[in-house]
């Protein structure tokens, strides 16, 4: 599979993503610049973490209007795969490719730590190959509190669109395991077509044995197997 990793002004996880895809997963990667108007034939677009355009207005609000996003939206609407991590998730919500919004953490503080996730969706490629266990994945965000109106939230659940929830070691969904106040402890969602994925935690930061954590690589392995 050929991946394209987009760099926006302020992205800071793009090279981490390229490293994992190329070195740890053996995939071909194209580096895409936010002003590009050509996806260079990639099958799977990744919007990495960072602080695109300095998070001015709202996180992801300006990046949504970068020229590359016109092509990303077309790609997704044709069934092409797109994944947004952290700031990338925010951009996907701002662009309308994913439902809901990412609000300021309820603590009003930037949070950087490991959290535990459990896979939820049984039909999305990113979770289909994962065991029912807690995966340790880092977060690093100030605006990661997932929110959706009641009717939209019900639709997301009804359509099996919740990818991950924040949990404790016993896989229990608790207020204490929720780092940012996200509704229903939601850490990631997919679209109705199951080809666009967004998550706040950073699996690319947990995909190398030298970091003593490869839980994130299992998420990428699932993508490669089922996409």
In the chain, where the domains are located: 2-226
126 Cβ partners below 8 Å, 6+ apart? 83, 163, 190, 197, 219, 222, 223, 226
172 Cβ partners below 8 Å, 6+ apart? none
Q: 227 an active-site residue?
A: no
Q: Is 198 helix (H, G, I), strand (E, B) or coil?
A: strand
**Cα separations in angstroms, 10 against 40, 59, 65, 108, 225:** 22, 11, 15, 21, 31
Q: 169 an active-site residue?
A: no
Output the pLDDT for position 57. Answer: 85
69 Cβ partners below 8 Å, 6+ apart? 63, 91, 95
- 116 forms bridges with which residues in the sheet? 136
Helices (H), the chain: 14-19, 67-77, 87-94, 125-128, 150-158, 215-226
Catalytic residue among 13, 86, 94, 143: 86
Output the pLDDT for position 14. Answer: 97
Averaged over successive runs of 10 residues, the pLDDT of the chain (227 residues) comes to: 97 97 98 97 98 92 96 98 98 98 97 98 97 97 98 98 98 98 98 98 97 97 96
Output the pLDDT for position 62. Answer: 96
From the candidate CATH numbers 3.30.420.40, 3.60.20.10, 3.40.605.10, 3.40.50.880, the one assigned to the domain spanning 2-226: 3.40.50.880
Q: What is the DSSP letter of 68?
A: H
Cα–Cα dist 12/30, whole Å: 17
- Record the tokens describing residue 15, joined without a space: 């090279």
Whether the model clears a pTM of 0.85, i.e. scores above it, the answer is yes
């Amino acid at each position: 599979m050929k991946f394209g990793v987009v760099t926006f002004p302020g992205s800071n996880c793009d090279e981490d993503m390229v490293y994992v895809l190329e070195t740890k997963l053996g995939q071909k990667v194209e580096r895409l610049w936010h002003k590009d108007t050509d996806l260079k034939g990639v099958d799977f677009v990744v919007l990495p973490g960072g602080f695109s355009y300095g998070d001015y207005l709202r996180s992801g609000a300006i990046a949504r209007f970068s020229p590359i996003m016109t092509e990303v939206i077309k790609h997704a609407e044709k069934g092409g795969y797109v994944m947004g991590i952290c700031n990338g998730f925010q951009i996907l919500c701002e662009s309308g490719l994913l439902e809901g919004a990412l609000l300021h953490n309820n603590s009003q503080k930037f949070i950087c730590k490991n959290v535990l996730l459990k896979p939820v969706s049984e039909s999305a490629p990113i979770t289909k190959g994962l065991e029912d266990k807690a995966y340790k994945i880092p977060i690093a965000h100030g605006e990661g509190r997932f929110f959706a109106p009641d009717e939209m939230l019900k639709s997301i659940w009804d359509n099996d669109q919740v990818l991950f929830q924040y949990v404790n070691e016993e896989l229990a969904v608790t207020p204490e395991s929720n780092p940012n106040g996200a509704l229903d402890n939601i850490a990631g969602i997919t679209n109705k077509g199951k080809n666009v994925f967004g998550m706040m935690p950073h699996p690319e930061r947990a995909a190398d044995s030298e970091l003593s954590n490869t839980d994130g690589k299992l998420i990428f392995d699932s993508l490669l197997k089922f996409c």
